[in-house]
Amino acid sequence: MGAVDVIILHPLPSPTAGPLETALAGVRLDLAERNRSAFLAGGAETARVVAGPPDQRPFGVRLSELRAGLGPGRGLVILGSGALPLATPADLRAFVAAATAAEPLALVNNRYSADVVAVSATANAILGRLPDAFPTDNALPRWLAEVGGVRVVDLRGRWRLAMDLDSPLDAILVAAGQTDRLPASLAPAAARLGPVVDAVRAILTDRRAELVVAGRASAATLGWLERAARCRVRALVEERGLRASSSLALGDPASASPRRPRSILGMVLDAGGPGVVGDRLAELGDGAVVDTRVLLAHRLGGDEAAWPSAGARFASDLLDPRGVDDPWLAELTAAATAAPIPILLGGHSLVGPGIRLVGSRS
């Protein structure tokens, strides 16, 4: 078997980060250290956490610098510090094994929006052609397959591998009510969210009820809802690939679509204002799970730099409008908390594996 290096990227909170960003960074760092040890136990020769302050460098530049410090002829596994909180030892061994393959091979948790990518030594060499301007790791599998000619295998069938800690809400859902697994600073938020999570879970078990799911839900999530939920489900799937779509991933920078991200629910809020979100969703179902990042992209564009701060988004996810310093998002959050139905707000993980965690919470 060839040698395999594992690199776990961990963004440090900025000096001006608020308590929610700091708490999430701590949870992610703990997870990164657990995964580092587990990858070593799973056969990797080296595994390290690379931490650094947030900056504007594209992923292509960052990956080039990281690869320059590795020896030739080695497999590589690269992931973010929030990835794989639900992975088993067998899952991690699979990524290490893929990185030892003799052929140009990549194994990913999802080829359309990857959080972890394992590449064999020959595929690692092909990464030397990755453009410095390549924006994000999410689109790396598409570039490997469509530009690099690498065989990409994904593990979308293992839903637990889709969970990523992008928000304190995700950490709370993974902890499943066990507050001793969370920083003390998140305990009040977990307590505040508990009744809403329980109410959505009750809807999932009620054959007379209907749940609205809005955002980047996958076919796998909808399939699980079809099999496991007793309620009816009204799904509004929008802007899948919001972060992973890249013209560079397709090898054609000129192919970028001029279309901005658009959302049907966003158009409803354009007409009535964010304060109507609770009433409109209550017309559609008995509870709702909403990916607010799609709404922000609809309103402000796909570049997260134009969105409300991470701290504001996190406070919204935790249903705390007082912690949201953006007026539009604060009004949306307040309306969701005051709605006549339970509404959970969050990101991609919430409308994906997060729904399963809500459904299985005891």
pLDDT of res. 178: 62
State residue 307 phi and psi, 5-degree precision.
Answer: -85, 170
- Give the percent of the chain with pLDDT over 70: 94
From CA 266, how far away is CA 296, in angstroms rounded? 8
Cα angle, residue 312 at apex, residues 310 and 314 outer, rounded to 5°: 70
- What are the tens digits of pLDDT across the range 143-178? 999 999 999 999 999 999 999 999 999 999 999 856
Strands 105-108 vs 151-154: parallel, antiparallel or unpaired: parallel
pLDDT of res. 251: 61
pLDDT of res. 242: 79
- What are the tens digits of pLDDT across the range 230-271? 999 999 999 997 765 555 555 665 555 568 899 999 999 999
**Spatial CB neighbours of 188, under 8 Å, sequence gap ≥ 6:** none
pLDDT of res. 360: 83
CA proximity to 28, closest of 343, 324, 329, 314: 314
pLDDT at 181 over 90: no
From CA 76, how far away is CA 70, in angstroms rounded? 9
pLDDT of res. 362: 43
- What are the tens digits of pLDDT across the range 124-144? 999 999 999 998 899 999 999
**Do 89 and 41 contact (CB within 8 A), yes or no?**
yes
Residue 105 three-state SS:
strand
Give me the mean pLDDT over the 4-25 stretch.
Answer: 96
Amino acid at 217: A
pLDDT of res. 136: 87
- What are the tens digits of pLDDT across the range 291-301? 999 999 999 99
pLDDT of res. 258: 62
Q: Is the dihedral of CA 212, 205, 169, 41 positive or negative?
A: negative
From CA 73, how far away is CA 121, in angstroms rounded? 5
**Do 242 and 216 contact (CB within 8 A), yes or no?**
yes
From CA 96, how far away is CA 30, in angstroms rounded? 21
- Give the percent of the chain with pLDDT over 90: 85
Element of type H or E holding 154: strand 151-154
**Token pair listed for 165:** 């800690």
pLDDT of res. 256: 54
**Do 6 and 48 contact (CB within 8 A), yes or no?**
yes
CA proximity to 240, closest of 315, 99, 347, 329: 347
Average pLDDT, the chain: 93
pLDDT of res. 241: 78
Q: Is the dihedral of CA 132, 135, 139, 142 positive or negative?
A: negative
pLDDT of res. 53: 87
User: Which residue did the predictor score with more confidence, 105 or 247?
Assistant: 105
Amino acid at 93: R
Number of helical (H) and strand (E) elements in the chain, helices listed first? 14, 10
- What are the tens digits of pLDDT across the range 93-104? 999 999 999 999
pLDDT of res. 248: 58
Strands 116-119 vs 75-80: parallel, antiparallel or unpaired: antiparallel
Question: CA separation (Å) from 346 to 141, 275, 284?
Answer: 25, 17, 19
Question: CA separation (Å) from 202 to 209, 333, 334?
Answer: 9, 22, 23
From CA 90, how far away is CA 155, in angstroms rounded? 13
Query: Does the predicted TM-score (pTM) go above 0.85?
Result: yes
**Token pair listed for 324:** 């949201």
Give me the mean pLDDT over the 34-62 stretch.
Answer: 94
Element of type H or E holding 332: helix 327-337
pLDDT of res. 257: 58
Residue 171 three-state SS:
helix
pLDDT at 106 over 60: yes
